[in-house]
Amino acid sequence: MKTAWLILAPGVTMPGMNDAASHDNPLDKATMTDNVNDDPFLWLEEISGTRSLDWVKQQNAVTTKQFVDNAEFARTRDSILEVLDSDARIPYVQRMGNELYNFWRDKTYPRGIWRRTTLEEYRKAEPKWEVLLDIDALNEAEGKRWVFKEVECLKPDYERCLISLSPDGGDATVVREFSIPHKAFVEGGFELPVAKSEVRWIDRDTVYVGTDFGPGSMTRSSYPRIVKEWKRGTPLSTARTIHEGKPSDLAVSAWHDHTPGHERDFVSVAGDFFHSELYQRSGDQLTRVDVPTDAHAEAHREWLLVQTRSPWTVDGTTYPSGALLATPFDDFMAGGRRIVVLFQPDAHTSLDSFAWTRHHLILNLMDDVKSRLEVLTPPQIAAADGDWKRESLPGAPAMSTIHVVDTDPDHDDEYWLDVGGFLAPSSLERGVLGSAPAERIKQEPAFFDASGFTVSQHFVHSKDGTRVPYFEIAPNDLRLDGSHRTLLYGYGGFEVSLQPHYSGSIGRAWLERGGVYVIANIRGGGEYGPAWHQAALKANRPRAYEDFAAVAEDLIRRGVTSARHLGAEGGSNGGLLVGNMLTDYPQLFGAIACEVPLLDMKRYTHLSAGASWMAEYGDPDTADWDFIRTFSPYQNVKNDGHYPPVLFYTATSDDRVGPVQARKMAAKMQSMSLPDVWFYENLEGGHGAGADNRQSAHMHAMAYDFLWNQLK
């Protein structure tokens, strides 16, 4: 259920100088509000209430007047929008059969078009595209404001697709069947009303569906609890139940593996983000794939791959956390335990991801958060004691990130790579393993002059002695005199890694102004595998904040910046991160941008999809509150606190984290007469806070201008 993660595009957050008193005892427990009935801002939890929206409109007007209604903001917004709308951007593609598919937004198509072309055309500087669906035209015809979310097409012909459209950019969508040959929605086809649904093809006339079937059919986390098999032409109410989870589960889903010769059906019951049970379905029987519940298991052709999150002992052999293992699928399901290790982590190296081609497996590894690819070739016969051939896949520049964008494992060994770094615009490369080496197909232009900047990686020891890396992008002639406006970004949660990435928006809105940009690879992320994430779970969550503070302190110690010139930015879980910087490390920062954040950790499980994150933070309705309260900014902000200027921004349509936490935090701080507390709420855009490029440019420009001006 990665769609439910607290993820935004990479940005930056920063902590501050070490204050022993605040580190050892960061909270004055007497100031904390434990009783919900003592919360005077519960009324702001009514997302669409008249009183709430009137407050939002008033706040937006004040913030707009202060930060938006000026020429500087217009220049920043337009500069970012030029990047987002540029026709020179890479149109990333997904192969389906003989065609390459792409979803594209620009100035002409603000809500976007779904289109396709051939490889021959795609190689050209200006390929010809066949437009399949124009979202702006659809909106005009239907009087809606649809936001395109995702598409699921039926193999192997790829003629019928299930398209998900959000009415406001949130996670809840309508699902409508679409015919590619007719370039139209199918009259009387599969269709679902707005809900957090998951629909997967079984065959042309049958789908697996998890959706809101009525009261009790969704989990406490707001995702499907029941998965059913639905036949074409029959009412949804008659769909046959395949499996029901518990209300306390995260979600239940099912899918059909269409791989020729290896057709199989699976059901997954996710207890939380990091624990699930996988079942093979045969008729009405579900047989569990007997791997640890915290492991990720994936079947492909003859093989079952298992990625461990904790040590797993099998027949007297213990496999470490973060390993990737292979075993013959049918043999494993029959009780065999012949396992081969494909990857084993060390102190510097972890597995980021893997992708199958027809005959090979590509591993994407991280060496101290920098990418490296390996290609593994399994034995021709699925025997675990056979040798897997291993070789490197060259081509990664220094301080870069490589992602496998797409493969077509049912048919051939084609692979597509995205290669880029902080100062190197992304390139899209295509190769065929065992045949054609990777060749550059598309190159993104440089949206800013990178010649004046240098990327460096640094390491600092956190409070408990842990070595924490961070990347710094700074002018070549950087004087270590503490004068530079520096923006620190972090995330630190859900095993999400922040890797080198190219951003024309950051380049234009921050670096070209003379700023320094820093990304902190703090615990809670996945930079060093599951153990790096688990080190900041639940009661250990403050380790992530100590790491962030250690990076901030190191930047100040080295003379890169000073506290009054240091800004922190973070969104979602990163918003919780910078919220804790605000309340526990205010002396380290000159300004903070807190975006679509969690902040009220006493109430978070009762707001939007918050119950889905208890494996990360704990359950505040239990004794867990004893440790959760130590990192809940809403409870920990004080009347007499001396806080840096802060901008909270969110979106009314965010049905993942929701807008109410940012609302309540801003309202509470303003009620304390704390100065320089600003709030802005976009109506659309969901958790990304922007339904189109112009809205995204507006929100990013507001944050960058706010931080730049406050840090002068």
Q: Could you list the active site residues?
A: 572, 687
Q: Phi/psi zone of residue 5: left (φ > 0), alpha (ψ -120 to 50 degrees), beta?
A: beta
C-alpha angle 69-71-73 in degrees, rounded to nearest 5: 70
Give the count of beta carbons closer than 10 Å to the beta carbon of residue 49: 12
Contact status, residue 615 vs residue 275, Cβ threshold 8 Å = yes
CA distance 503 to 649: 21
- For residue 674, the one-letter residue type is L
> Distance between the two ends of the chain, CA-based, in angstroms?
42
**In which order are the strands placed within the sheet that holds 349-356?**
349-356, 361-367, 370-377, 389-393
Residue 406: closest CA among 102, 189, 60: 102
Question: Helix 660-671 vs helix 50-63: angle between axes, to the nearest 10 degrees?
Answer: 70
Contact status, residue 202 vs residue 256, Cβ threshold 8 Å = yes
Structure tokens at 654: 């965010």
Length reported for the chain: 712
Backbone φ, ψ for residue 668 (5° rounding) = -65, -45
SS (H, E, C) 299-328: EECCEEEEECCCCEEECCEEECCCCEEEEE
Q: List, in order, residues 6 or more apart from 268 with CB less than 8 Å away.
A: 252, 253, 254, 276, 277, 278, 279
Question: What DSSP character marks residue 213?
Answer: -
